């Protein structure tokens, strides 16, 4: 699946309708006064946060979005109708910024949130507005005001609840295929993953979370080396990072501890807030380690890395250890969601028998 994470669009709110100059022309009325109505308001452009959307791909192919202009004023005291508004549906978490200056204008943070991003122009005044005791036959009118016109950049940072970190060939794609409905390309050469892969992990009825497989990071990624640097920003709003490490590399000269330290260093250089996110260590490819050597190798790895956080041992290929990891992830994500919405924690004592 090719993921489109940013898009450029041009939007134009509707212009206001022009005011009208008109006078009454009624039989048997010698002095017909002004009756020209105002023009209608131009249509607004709204952005709506739609939780069913995950990408900005639609805006890549439809760049121009225009609302209707307001109707012109008419005689007989008739005001013009307002132009139709348009609503652009975007994923939750979309950041809307000015395409030229880069200034962030709006941000869609909550499902169903609706924001006015371009205001329609006000309608012009008809000559009815200019009637006075000393100006009984005004011929003035004003044109409608132009609507807002903007060039915008849309950027999506909310990709998933959980993001996978790791070197190329650490087994991230195999893991996401093992626990979710995603079917990423898997091969034994570096940079198999060229685009982020999203997978929905089903834990139970109405219990799920989204995991993102990010292209593998290499040393120097924060300065632009490799592929993963292009997608580091997508991890900024995940609730949890899984640092996937190949515990049994094919090349005996490769030190997985040194690789893990390099990833952590790149993360810290790129963004300190990203470095401070909850991060779990996932030691993968356990099936490649003899059973009697696993405990000692894991203990040595954790000691040399000086890791203080949670550690999980899995084999994504055989799915060994994946289920306990998935359950732990869901409980963490659920707790984060409850904290964000101030929802009371789940108490199993009140479950139905």
Is 212 in the same domain as 298? yes
Q: Is residue 1 part of a domain?
A: no
Q: State which residues form the domain around 314.
A: 162-350
- CB contact at 8 A, 24 and 36: no
Greater confidence (65 vs 62) lies with 65
Distances (CA, A) of 231 to 159, 165, 239, 269, 290: 10, 11, 16, 15, 35
Q: Mean per-residue pLDDT for 90-118?
A: 89
- CATH, residue 265: 3.40.50.300
Residues 130-141 have a mean pLDDT of 86
Tens-digit pLDDT profile for residues 245-254 = 888 776 677 7
Percent of the chain with pLDDT over 70: 78
Domain membership of residue 43 (yes or no) is yes
As a whole number, mean pLDDT of residues 241-265 equals 81
Residues 257 and 136 in one domain: no
Structurally, the chain folds into a number of domains equal to: 2
Cα(133)–Cα(140) distance, integer angstroms = 15
Say yes or no to pLDDT of 188 above 60. Answer: no
How far, in Å, CA of 89 to CA of 105, rounded?
Answer: 17
List, for residues 305-340, the tens digit of each pLDDT value.
Answer: 888 888 998 888 888 888 898 899 888 888 876 776
**Which backbone phi and psi does 286 adopt, to 5 degrees?**
-65, -25
Residues present in the chain in total: 353
Same domain, 261 and 210: yes
The answer to whether 320 and 314 are in contact (CB under 8 A) is yes
Residues 6+ apart with CB under 8 A from 79: 37, 38, 39, 40, 73, 123, 126
Task: Give 88 or 350, the one with higher predicted confidence.
Answer: 88
39 within a domain of the structure (yes/no): yes
Token pair, residue 261, equals 């330290």
Q: Domain for residue 300, yes or no?
A: yes
Q: For residue 218, what pLDDT is reported?
A: 45
Judgement on whether residues 142 and 225 belong to the same structural domain of the protein = no
Residues 344 and 198 in one domain: yes
Q: Would you place residue 43 in the very low, low, confident or very high pLDDT band (cuts 50, 70, 90)?
A: very high
Q: Residue holding tokens 């993001």?
A: 163
Domain end residue (candidates: 156, 182, 199): 156
Same domain? 205 vs 345: yes
CA-closest candidate to residue 318, choices 177, 202, 206, 150? 177
Alpha helix stretches (DSSP H) within 115-217: 172-179
3-state secondary structure of 127: helix
Looking at the domain assignment, is residue 241 inside a domain?
Answer: yes
Q: How far is CA 308 from the centre of its chain?
A: 31
How high is the pLDDT of residue 20?
A: 92
Tell me whether residue 189 is in a domain: yes
Indicate whether 261 belongs to any domain. yes
In angstroms, the CA 152 to CA 90 distance is 13
Q: Residue 164 pairs with which residues in a beta bridge?
A: 213, 242
H helix count then E strand count, the chain: 6, 14
Q: What sections of the chain are H helices per DSSP?
A: 57-61, 172-179, 256-270, 272-275, 294-305, 322-341
How far, in Å, CA of 34 to CA of 32, rounded? 7
75 and 197 both lie in a single domain: no
Whichever domain contains 116, its CATH number is 2.70.210.12
pLDDT at 195 over 70: no
Split at pLDDT 50, 70, 90, the class of 205 is low
Same-domain check for residues 340 and 297: yes
- Mean of the per-residue pLDDT values of the chain: 79
* 169 plus 120 within the same structural domain: no
- Whether 96 is in a domain gets the answer yes
Q: Are residues 148 and 105 in the same domain?
A: yes
The residue behind tokens 């395409």 is 99
Domain identity same for 141 and 210: no
Does 170 lie in the same domain as 89?
no
Residue 193 banded pLDDT, cuts 50, 70, 90: very low
- Domain end among 135, 156, 177: 156
**Given strand 162-165, what is the order of strands in its sheet?**
197-204, 207-213, 162-165, 240-246, 279-284, 311-313
Of 156, 174, 203, which residue constitutes the final position of a domain? 156
């Amino acid at each position: 699946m090719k993921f489109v994470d940013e898009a450029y669009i041009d939007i134009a709110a509707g212009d206001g309708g022009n005011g009208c100059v008109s006078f009454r022309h009624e039989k048997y009325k010698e002095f017909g006064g002004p009756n020209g109505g105002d023009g209608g308001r131009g249509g607004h452009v709204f952005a709506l946060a739609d939780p069913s959307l995950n990408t900005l791909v639609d805006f890549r192919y439809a760049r121009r979005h225009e609302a209707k202009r307001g109707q012109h004023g008419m005689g007989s005291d008739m005001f013009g109708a307002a132009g139709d508004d348009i609503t652009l549906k975007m994923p939750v978490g979309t950041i809307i910024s000015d395409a030229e200056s880069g200034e962030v204008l709006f941000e869609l943070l909550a499902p169903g949130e609706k924001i006015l991003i371009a205001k329609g122009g006000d309608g012009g005044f008809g000559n009815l507005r200019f009637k006075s005791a000393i100006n009984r036959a005004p011929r003035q009118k004003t044109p409608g005001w132009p609507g807002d016109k903007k060039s915008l950049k849309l950027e999506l940072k909310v990709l998933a609840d959980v993001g996978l970190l790791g070197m190329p060939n650490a087994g991230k794609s195999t893991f996401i295929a093992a626990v979710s409905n995603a079917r990423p390309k898997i091969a034994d050469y570096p940079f198999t993953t060229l685009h982020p892969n999203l997978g929905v992990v089903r834990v139970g009825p109405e219990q799920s979370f989204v995991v993102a497989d990010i292209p593998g990071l290499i040393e120097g990624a924060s300065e632009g080396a490799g592929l993963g640097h292009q997608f580091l920003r997508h991890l900024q709003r995940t609730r949890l990072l899984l640092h996937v490490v190949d515990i049994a590399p094919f090349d005996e000269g490769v030190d997985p501890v040194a690789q893990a330290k390099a990833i952590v260093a790149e993360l810290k250089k790129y963004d300190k807030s990203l470095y401070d996110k909850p991060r779990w260590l996932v030691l993968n490819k356990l099936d490649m380690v003899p059973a009697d050597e696993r405990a000692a190798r894991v203990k040595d790895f954790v000691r040399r890395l000086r890791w203080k956080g949670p550690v999980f041992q899995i084999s994504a290929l055989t799915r060994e250890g994946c289920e306990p990891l998935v359950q732990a992830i869901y409980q963490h994500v659920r707790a984060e969601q409850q904290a964000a919405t101030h929802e009371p924690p789940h108490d199993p004592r009140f479950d139905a028998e």
